[in-house]
Structure 1
């Protein structure tokens, strides 16, 4: 067990990798009344082609298995996991993203018992043919519900325009057709491959004694048997740098059209510092040019091209990345043209050193405010840990960021072939 102090943010993190491979991170904060725990596996919706553990040949499972598996782990033969957490005063949940599946709870009492429940239910799968068939109907309704939501359609439509072959273009829940073919054997094979402790992370933050908590986790894991650790062989298709489609328009029952402009990221996943630099600078630049305080935002707002729904987001993961700028607009074509023109002109603009300092200080301030949330810290730590990056070192990295690094990044950031548009018009 090692303890690391982060003077820049006044935090102390206790870490240990257990003998079974599980990485455990403890962030004790006795001044809080609550505790948050998240048990995550490095396995998401994009991981549907892989070589199963202890096998030689690759398999491709139906799209949506990771999300399906998340649902099924809560269902046991003789009890309901949500009811168990509820009896112990905890609020439990789970989520599946493109790259990870996570199980979590928040509680103020019975923390040790809730941690045991979290570890035990995730590490004790139970799937039957009957329960799998029942779940197909439930998830099918969820897929249909999301298909009827314009905000989700514009998001996934933009992603599908950006990528030719990468499985990120497939909805996290899969499709009605793909989940229909899922079997309990698929679930067990994916579980045995990706839910081994050596592919998982436990992060607990809040009011607890770190020594007692680490002993609890060790004892819990020591009585469980797992096969020897083995490297997971994931199979991803080659993905071109250009976008799959430049523009798509669909019709839905919306009162105001929606438009989004997508930027396809070119990710350097072999160099963790280059990955982090890309992540930090892209967020800073988007905020500088497209936040409410900027002149470009004010121009679009005054001309009636955007309203308060305007947003921008960026997501960089291992192997892929994207940024999306969008919102409601009565002039979707003009919205798209102006956003793309601005993005393509950024490389020719000059940011002054004073503007760079303001950008950097704003980014640091936003991060420090967000770090008041233990949920934010835990989720972000797990996100960056996959790339070998210590999230709690990001503030010092931002402080050491130089004007030249940002200027160099901007020169090669965006080309026209990396941009796409997705529009939803009223029926």
Structure 2
């Protein structure tokens, strides 16, 4: 077991790579009452085309299968795993993103039993034809529920207008039609390919003794047999740099139109550190101009073009990246025209040394406050680890940023050819 000390934030991580390839990270916080655990596989909704374990030819699986698999792992032949956690006084959950599937629990007692429950149920799949067919109806209802939410449709409508072929354009849960094609054999094939311990990370944070916990996890893993770690071959379609559509819209039962601008980020050949730099700088710039205290937001708000529903987000991954800004607007065309002009002329704005120093201080403050959350640490440590970055190196990385880095980044950031506008319009 290795021990890493991060004196600048007074944290210590204990880590070990198990014989089966599972990467385990422990953050002991004896002052905490709660313990949080998350077991994550490097497998998400975009992983649709790959070479299955033990096969030579690649396959393309139905959209939404990663999310479907997440649902099914909780159901065993004789019980629902949620009941196991409830009996142990724990709260359990799971989520599927574009790139990851994670299973988690939070508890104040029976910590070792809850860790065992978490690891054992994920590593012991059970699927039957009958239960798979039943789940199709449940997930179909979930998909229809999200399809009725204008904000959700606006978000995925924007991404869908950015990307020509990349599976990030598809809702993580898939479609009502696509999940009908999922079979028990498909689930086992995806599980065996992507749920090998060597493709997974276990992060535990909270009130426990690290050496005892690592021994406990090690004994648990040594008691199980796994095949040799597979080389996972994923394939993604070649994606043009430009946006798929320059503008798009749908009609829904909304009283106020919703309007968004999306930007397809250029992530090709970016390393982990370069991805981190781009993510930090883009987020700092968006916050500087478009937070409630930002110059651009104030101009939009005072003009009556936006209300407090306006928001922005930026996501940078190895295979894709996007930035989305928008919200409700009673004058969506005027709003989008003004917003696009702001974004395209951003590089002409002057950011002073004082501005940049304030941006860094704010980012550092937000990061330090977030470290008070076990959930934030565990989730983000896992996320960054899969990008080749250590979460606790982010703070010194922010401190090392220079104004020249931001000037170089913003010069090439916003390009109209990589932009789309999307509107959710009231039904006529």
- Aligning the two structures, in what range does the TM-score lie when normalised by the shorter sequence? over 0.9
Residue of structure 2 equivalent to 1:296:
296
Residue 314 of structure 1 pairs with residue 314 of structure 2: yes
Q: Would you say the 8 A contact 2:270–2:318 is kept in 1?
A: no
Residue of structure 2 equivalent to 1:285:
285
Residue 6 of structure 1 pairs with residue 21 of structure 2: no
Q: Would you say the 8 A contact 1:269–1:319 is kept in 2?
A: no
Q: Would you say the 8 A contact 2:52–2:189 is kept in 1?
A: yes
Residue of structure 1 equivalent to 2:267:
267
Residue of structure 2 equivalent to 1:180:
180
Deviations 1:319-357 (A, max 9, x none): 100011011110111111111111100122221111111
Deviations 1:53-99 (A, max 9, x none): 12111001111110000000000001210011000000000000000
Deviation, structure 1 residue 269: 4.4
Where has structure 1 moved over 3 Å in runs of 4 or more?
none
Deviation, structure 1 residue 406: 1.2
How far apart, CA to CA, are the structure 2 residues paired with 1:284 and 1:80? 43
How far apart, CA to CA, are the structure 2 residues paired with 1:167 and 1:323? 17
Unaligned runs of 5+ in 1: none
Q: Would you say the 8 A contact 1:161–1:246 is kept in 2?
A: yes
Residue 176 of structure 1 aligns to a residue in which SS?
coil
Residue of structure 2 equivalent to 1:79:
79
How far apart, CA to CA, are the structure 2 residues paired with 1:338 and 1:144? 34
Residue of structure 2 equivalent to 1:325:
325
Q: How does 1:332-371 map to 2 (within 5 A)?
A: 332-371=332-371
Residue 39 of structure 1 aligns to a residue in which SS?
strand
Q: Would you say the 8 A contact 1:268–1:274 is kept in 2?
A: no
Deviation, structure 1 residue 296: 1.5
- C-alpha RMSD of the superposition: 0.8
Aligned length: 427
Deviation, structure 1 residue 177: 1.1
How far apart, CA to CA, are the structure 2 residues paired with 1:102 and 1:124? 15
Q: How does 1:76-155 map to 2 (within 5 A)?
A: 76-155=76-155
Residue 380 of structure 1 pairs with residue 380 of structure 2: yes
How far apart, CA to CA, are the structure 2 residues paired with 1:161 and 1:36? 37
Residue 284 of structure 1 aligns to a residue in which SS?
helix
TM-score normalized by structure 2? 0.99
